[in-house]
Amino acid sequence: MKWVALRMLTGDRVKFFGLVFGVTFATFLMSQQVSVFVGIVRRSASQIVDVRDASIWVMDPRVRHFDEAPGLPHGALQRVRGVEGVHWAAPFYKGQVLARIESGLPRNVILEAVDDASLVAAPQELIAGDLADLRRPHAVIVDKAGYEYLWPGQPLSLWREFEINDRRAVLVGVCKASPPFVTLPVMYTRFNEALPYVPTKRNLMNYVLADTVPGESSTAVAERITRQTGLLAVTQNRFFWNTINYMLGSTGIPVNFGITIALGFIVGVAVAGQTFYLFTLENLKHFGSLKAMGVNNRRLVAMILLQAMSVGGIGFALGTGLTALFFERTNQITHLAGLFMPWQAVAGVGLAVLAIIALASLLSMRRVLVLEPAVVFRGA
C-alpha cells in the first residue's frame, strides 16, 4: 500500500511539484522571518553579552534597557565595592558620540569606556592591534564592521588619527564585536580618555560592572547590592532578558514579523491544502477501486497521511536548506553578519509545517472516508 500511495502521489508531476513548492515556500518564509526576528531582537542586548568579565550590572533603578541609562554619581562605585561578596567593581560608560574622519564627514558612533586599570569590558578578540595599546593616550579600538563603515574599501590600517567631538583620537586596534541593534560603529576607549569625548555631563559613568568573590551567588550578591545601595543590581543574564523583553513589549517588531510569519503559514495552508485536495479529488476513482477490493478506511487514511508526510518532509527539508543557504550568504556581508537560524526556529517551523500538512490531510480524508466503492463503476 505504501508503494501504491507514493505512485499515486508522484503520478502527476505538476501537482506533486506544486505541493512541494507550496510547503517549501511556506517553510522558507517562516524560518527566515523567525530567524531574522530572533537575530534582530538579540542584537538589542548583544553588547551586554560581549562583556564577559562581569557577572553583575549595577545601574539607576529607572533603567529599562541597555540603551537607556542615566549617569551614576561617582560615589556609587565605592558603595558597590563596599558590599559584602563583591570581589571587584569597575566603572563603565556607554553612549553615542560624533566621530569625524579624514573626509570630514561626521559619523554617529557608539562609544564604550572601560576601566583604566583593569580594562574590564574591553574587547576580547582583536583582528589587528594589541589590547595593551588601549592604555596609550587618545587610544581607541573599533569593531570590524565599524571600520568598514568609517573607511569603506580601505585595508586595515592602524594608527589612523581622527576626531571624536573635536578631540583627537588614534585608532590602535580593530576587534570582533557582536552587531548592535543600530548599525553604528562600536568604539572602545578608557574611562578617563572618554571624559573629553563626551559632551559635558555631571556624571559620565552610567553602569558599574562587578563580580563576586568565589563561592558567592551572583543573584544573592546582586540583591544585596540593591538593598544596601538603593541602585538596581542584576545578573548579566537577567539584564540581557530585561532588555529583550523591553524590545518585545515596547516596539512594533513582534507585530511586523508576526504578520509575515502568519502570512507564510496561511500561504502554506492555502497552497498545500488546495493542491492536495484537488489531488485527492482526481484520485477518488483509485481510492474507490481500493475500497471495492476490500481496503478499509484505516488503510486509506494511512495512505493519505503517508502522502502528506512525504510532501511535508521534502518541502520542509528544502525550505530549511534554502534558509540555511540564505544566512550562509548574508553572513559574508559584514553589516548582516551575526544572523543565523537557531534550532528553536527550526523546531517551531517544523511544528507549523506539521500543522499545514495535518490541515491539508483533513480536507482530503473527509472525501475519501465518505466515498462509496460503487463510484468506481459509474461512467464506465
Tens of pLDDT along 11-31? 667 777 877 887 888 888 888
pLDDT at 376 (0 to 100): 56
Q: What is the mean pLDDT of the chain?
A: 83
- pLDDT surpasses 70 at 224: yes
- Read off the pLDDT band of 4 (50, 70, 90): low
Residues 204 and 257 both lie in one domain? no
Around Cβ 96, how many Cβ atoms within 10 Å?
12
The number of C-alpha atoms within 13 Å of 1 and in the hemisphere containing its C-beta is 18
Residues 97 and 168 both lie in one domain? yes
The mean-pLDDT minimum among 18-22, 30-34, 61-65, 370-374 falls in 370-374
Q: For residue 234, tell me if it sits in a domain.
A: no
Residues 11 and 110 both lie in one domain? no
Q: For residue 284, tell me if it sits in a domain.
A: yes
pLDDT at 329 (0 to 100): 83
- pLDDT surpasses 70 at 230: yes
Residues 173 and 261 both lie in one domain? no
Question: To which H or E segment does residue 186 belong?
Answer: strand 186-190
Q: How many domains does the chain have?
A: 2
CA separation, residue 117 to residues 84, 168, 192 (Å): 22, 22, 10
- Read off the pLDDT band of 222 (50, 70, 90): very high
Write out pLDDT tens, residues 232-242.
999 999 999 99
CA separation, residue 85 to residues 76, 205, 208, 235 (Å): 16, 22, 15, 14
Q: For residue 153, tell me if it sits in a domain.
A: yes
Q: What radius of gyration, in Å, describes the C-alpha atoms of the chain?
A: 29
The residue among 208, 241, 269 that closes a domain is: 208
Q: For residue 163, tell me if it sits in a domain.
A: yes
Rounded CA gap, 140 and 156, in Å?
Answer: 14
Cα first-last separation, the chain:
25
Q: For residue 214, tell me if it sits in a domain.
A: no
Q: For residue 72, tell me if it sits in a domain.
A: no
pLDDT at 328 (0 to 100): 84
The residue among 150, 175, 208 that closes a domain is: 208
Residues 284 and 334 both lie in one domain? yes
Residues 257 and 360 both lie in one domain? yes
Residues 107 and 203 both lie in one domain? yes
Overall average pLDDT of the 72-93 stretch: 92
Q: Is the dihedral of CA 224, 227, 230, 231 positive or negative?
A: positive
- Read off the pLDDT band of 316 (50, 70, 90): confident
The number of C-alpha atoms within 13 Å of 80 and in the hemisphere containing its C-beta is 30
- pLDDT surpasses 80 at 5: no
Write out pLDDT tens, residues 143-192.
998 898 888 888 888 999 999 988 899 999 999 888 887 778 999 999 98
Q: For residue 203, tell me if it sits in a domain.
A: yes
Residues 124 and 179 both lie in one domain? yes
Look up the domain containing 292 and give its range: 2-44+252-377
Q: For residue 64, tell me if it sits in a domain.
A: no
- pLDDT surpasses 80 at 213: yes
Residues 189 and 305 both lie in one domain? no
